[in-house]
Amino acid sequence: MFCRVADNGYFSTIFHVMKIKDDFHHLIDSIEDEELLKSYYQLIQKINHDYNGHLWNDLSESEKQELLIAYEESFNSDNLLSHEQVKLQHEKWLKP
């Protein structure tokens, strides 16, 4: 199959996506363990559900506003904590 690839990479992107889907179908077809297959299905279903905005849609308006404010505030380095500070604040949950 010959195809002229557009300068913007549109066709190469389409072929790349098609290859991933094809590989994914082969992977699914190769799994014989029903429980493993169910687990993968549930995982992919959850990821797809979350990716499509359902987490955002489940938030109340006040939760959405709080999240947007926190996002904006995260661009100011004075509002950020170091990794060590976070570990100290949550150390009781980090210990086994």
Q: Is the pTM of this model over 0.85?
A: no
CA distances from 90 to 70, 81, 82, 84, 87 (A): 19, 12, 13, 10, 5
Rounded to an integer, the average pLDDT of 65-87 is: 90
pLDDT at 5 over 60: no
Query: Which residue type does 48 have?
Result: N
